[in-house]
Amino acid sequence: MNNILPSSKGIRFKCQGSSNCCVSRGSYGYVYLSLNDIKRFAKYFKISIDNFIKKYCSNQDGYYHLIEKNKNGNCIFLKNKQCTVYKARPVQCRTWPFWKENLNAKRWNNEIINFCPGIGKGKLYSNKEINKIANKDSKNEKLILKTTNKS
């Protein structure tokens, strides 16, 4: 991967509970789900995969994503700025903000830093750790693309 990171030493990040990344907005859109995410949720709620999809998912061009609660775009599982399903949250949520598409200086400095108050705080992630997370997110994207109601 050819990342252009803002610092050669890595990046500090600690979630500050702003919930910005839990609200669908512009390019930080839906929380898409792979079959693994859906299975994890179904187990968490002790319901079948089909029931989880019926109750909590919508789809965009055939790809599943979590329903949004209102016109503001709040994730259905966001309550009082807290994730109510933290242990079962999807990979897309676990890998934020170290998504491959975020890891270039232009986007990072112009958008991500302003969008997420957790950047620059807390644990210092080494570039190696960041790349590992970004790779996990890339793999997850491929799984999301395989999880479609078209097949």
Applying CB under 6 A, does 116 fall inside the site for ligand SF4?
A: no
Nearer to ligand SF4 by C-beta: 22 or 144? 22
Distance (Å, rounded) from C-alpha 107 to C-alpha 146?
27
At 37, give phi and psi (nearest 5°).
-60, -45
Binds ligand SF4 by CB under 6 A, chosen from 77, 108, 115, 125:
77
**8 Å CB contact between 98 and 133:** yes
Query: Closer to ligand SF4 at the Cβ: 6 or 73?
Result: 73
* Helix (H) or strand (E) run with residue 74 in it: none
The string of DSSP codes covering 28-94 is: B---B--HHHHHHHHHHHTS-HHHHHHHHEEEETTEEEEPBSSTT-BBTTEETTEETTGGG--HHHH
- Token reading at 91: 């990979």
Residues in the chain: 151
Stretch that binds ligand SF4, among 3-11, 51-59, 74-82, 107-115 (CB under 6 A): 74-82
Q: How far is the CB of 78 from ligand SF4 (least distance, A)?
A: 4
Does residue 144 belong to the site contacting ligand SF4 (CB under 6 A)?
no
The binder of ligand SF4 chosen from 33, 38, 53, 83 (CB under 6 A)? 83
Least distance CB 4 / ligand SF4 (angstroms): 27
Q: Is 22 in the site for ligand SF4 (CB under 6 A)?
A: yes
Using the contact rule CB under 6 A, the part of the chain among 52-60, 71-79, 122-130, 138-146 near ligand SF4 is 71-79
Q: Is 9 helix (H, G, I), strand (E, B) or coil?
A: coil
Q: Interface residues with ligand SF4 (CB under 6 A)? A: 22, 31, 75, 77-78, 83, 85, 89, 93
